[in-house]
Amino acid sequence: MSALKLKLRTAPSQRLDLSPLVPGKLAGLSTAEIERISIYAGPEGLTVGDCFSVSGTSGGALHIEGGSDKLDKVGAEHAGGEIIVDGDVGHYAGRRMKTGRLDIRGDAGECLASNLRGGIVIVTGSAGTHLGGPLAGEKDGLAGGTVVVMGGAGKLAGERMRRGTIVVKGRMGRNAGARMMGGTIVGEQGLSAGAGVQMRRGTLIGPSLEAPSATFVDCGTHDLLILTIMAAYWRKILGDLAPPAIALAPRRLMGDMSSLGKGEILLTEG
């Protein structure tokens, strides 16, 4: 498949808003037209051509070579096709993305996949705080799609999440799934303190939970058929990145009883 390549000329000194650079918005544009696209960069007006050397053809995948933690909103509102970033990205990567795939081969900043609607976001490094969370004043966090973070995630991953899946293969920060309303969060290395605080619905899965809250009640260990269905779905869309199958009946903690209380934390090591 043809790809449009954007090669970072030098490490940016200011934050760059890359939200105009998604395959759907670039389709049909020539290299020259793409180079003239304005990038919001604070008081200083910059164009794509100022920051990147552009090659290849638009309409297919977008490949950003050279990352930086100052590249904000990479893949924001992405709606089909693939974006690959060879390196780190800044804040709000994948925000409100609808479909397609965003492959970040580095670390991601705060609010990765904020209010994600669909598609798949893969981060080979770690993610900052508020992974999948809402911005200030927004009602919902992650509302669909799937996020896999190979490293760790900061605090408040999945805050106010409504649908979709977040998989964190490294260490999960505090208060994951806070005020969650649906969807699934998997912390493969375990869940930190405050997991699921004030959650109404939804599922948190991990081998263990640090400092369980008294507002979650122990329902015992159970074979849950839905986990088989979820595992099959994840295998289908994520392949080798899917969370490992749950061998034993997990312990089910229901809560948060200080809220609606219809969420659950499933502890796979009993």
Partner 1 sequence: MSEGNEKTAAATLNRNGIAIDDTFAEAFGMSGTGVIITADTAKWARQSAVTMTGFGTSVIGCGAECGIDYEVAPENTPDGRPGVRVLVFGFAPNMVEDQLKNRVGQCVLTSPGSACFNGLESSKRISLSGGPRFFGDGWQTARKLGDTRYWRVPVMDGEFVIEDKAGVTTDAVGGGNFLVIGKDRGGVLETCELAVAAIADVPDVITPFPGGIVRSGSKVGSKYGAPASTNEAFCPVLRGAVDSELGPDDKCVLEIVIDGLTSQAVGAAMRAGLKAVLEAGPQRGVTRVSAGNYGGNLGQHHYHLKDYLP
> Which residues of this chain interact with partner 1, rule CB under 8 A?
144, 163, 182, 184, 201, 203, 222-226, 228-230, 232-233, 237, 262
In the bound state with partner 1, the residue whose beta carbon lies nearer, of 68 and 184, is 184
> How far apart are CB 220 and partner 1 at their closest, in Å?
11
Region of 231 on the Ramachandran plot (φ > 0 left; ψ -120 to 50 alpha; else beta)? alpha
Nearest distance from C-beta of residue 233 to partner 1, angstroms:
4
- Whose Cβ is closer to partner 1: residue 78's or residue 163's? 163
* Complex with partner 1: residue 203 or 259, whichever CB lies closer: 203
Q: How far is the CB of 228 from partner 1 (least distance, A)?
A: 5
Cα separation values, 222 from 167, 218, 268, 270, Å: 22, 11, 10, 10
- The torsion of the CA quartet 45, 51, 54, 58, rounded to 10 degrees, works out to -60
Q: In the complex, what is the shortest distance from the CB of residue 100 to partner 1, in angstroms, rounded to a whole number?
A: 14
Shortest reach from residue 201's CB to partner 1, in Å: 6
Tokens of 83: 């974006």
Q: Strands 61-65 and 79-86, how do they pair? A: parallel
Cβ contact 128:144 at 8 Å: no
Closer residue to partner 1 (CB): 146 or 213: 146
Spacing of C-alpha 249 from chain mean position: 28
